[in-house]
Amino acid sequence: MPPSNSPRIAVVADAHFHDLRGDYGLPECGENGSCMAARMLADTARSTRVFNESDGALRFTLDDIAARGIRHVVLLGDYSDDGQVATVAGVRQLLDDYASRFGMRFYATVGNHDIFGEHGRHRSKRFLTATGGYRVATSDSNVTDTHAQTINLTPSMYCGGYPEGLRALPNVGFFAVLMIYIGKRLLGKMMILRQGATRCDPRTAGSCATLWMPPI
Q: What is the per-residue pLDDT across 144-166, written as a single tens digit (0 to 9) for each? A: 999 999 999 999 999 999 988 99
Quote the pLDDT of residue 213.
40
Give the rounded percent of residues in the chain with a pLDDT score beyond 90.
Answer: 59
DSSP conformational letter for 39: B
Q: Answer whether 0.85 is exceeded by the pTM.
A: no
Instruction: Give the span between the Cα atoms of 72 and 92, in whole angstroms.
Output: 16
Q: Where residue 212 falls among pLDDT bands split at 50, 70, 90?
A: very low
Determine whether domain 9-121+161-174 maps to CATH 3.40.50.300: no
For the cut 50, the answer to whether the pLDDT of residue 172 exceeds it is: yes
DSSP conformational letter for 202: G
Instruction: Give the span between the Cα atoms of 12 and 198, in whole angstroms.
Output: 24
Q: What is the per-residue pLDDT across 65-110, written as a single tens digit (0 to 9) for each? A: 999 999 999 999 899 999 999 999 999 999 999 999 999 999 999 9
Q: What is the location of CATH 3.60.21.10 in the chain?
A: 9-121+161-174
Q: Is residue 118 helix, strand or coil?
A: coil
Q: Are 112 and 144 in contact (CB under 8 A)?
A: no
Q: What is the CA radius of gyration of the chain?
A: 19
Q: Is residue 108 helix, strand or coil?
A: strand
Which of 163, 74, 170 is CA-nearest to residue 116?
A: 163
Q: How far lies 143's CA from each of 49, 57, 103, 140, in Å?
A: 24, 31, 43, 6
